[in-house]
Amino acid sequence: MVEIPVEFHDLFEQPTIAHVVTLFPDGRPHSTPVWVDYDAADERILVNTERDRQKERNVRRDPRVAVSMTYPENPYQFLSVTGEVTEITTEGAREHIDELARRYTDAEEYQNPIETERVILRIRADELFTGP
């Protein structure tokens, strides 16, 4: 496991779009743009999604992932992580998506209809790349 350097923590305090790559059953990559968060105390990247979305189904079967993000104001400054989903949890997921909605949309709560239930993918970083 590697720690996300402190100088990149501000990526998780602004409306940064990350791309999460999971693996289909046949090994093909599946990339999805997502809102992203970071639990510094547990050193986990957090991705909030719905139960049974493709990325959630993929990581239930194979927890290996890659996450890449760039600074909104400088797309050449980036953080890219390979790692593993260590937990898929519903605990606090509804509140978490509302917190993300405030950061990303300035809305008090998440505006899209929830079709199943919200889950949080907790991602451990095993390797990271930064630039420039």
- Hey, what CATH class is 6-131 in? mainly beta
Tokens matching residue 52:
């049974």
Q: Give the pLDDT score at 106.
A: 93
pLDDT band at 34 (very low <50, low <70, confident <90, very high): very high
Angstrom CA distances, 2 to 10, 28, 114, 129, stand at 17, 26, 33, 11
- Which residue type sits at 12? F
What pLDDT is stored for residue 76 in this prediction? 93
Q: Where are the domains of the chain?
A: 6-131
| Biggest CA-to-CA distance, the chain | 40
Structural Rg of the chain based on CA atoms = 14
pTM of the full structure: 0.95
Q: Which residues contact 80 (CB under 8 A, 6 or more apart)?
A: 66, 67, 68, 69, 128, 129, 130
51-102 pLDDT per residue, tens: 999 999 999 999 999 999 999 999 999 999 999 999 999 999 999 999 999 9
Please state the rounded mean pLDDT for residues 19-23: 98
Are 130 and 105 in contact by the 8 Å Cβ rule? The answer is: no
Residues facing residue 29 across a β-bridge: 23
pLDDT at 113 exceeding the cut of 90: no
Question: How far apart (Å, rounded) are the C-alpha atoms in residues 37 and 99?
Answer: 10
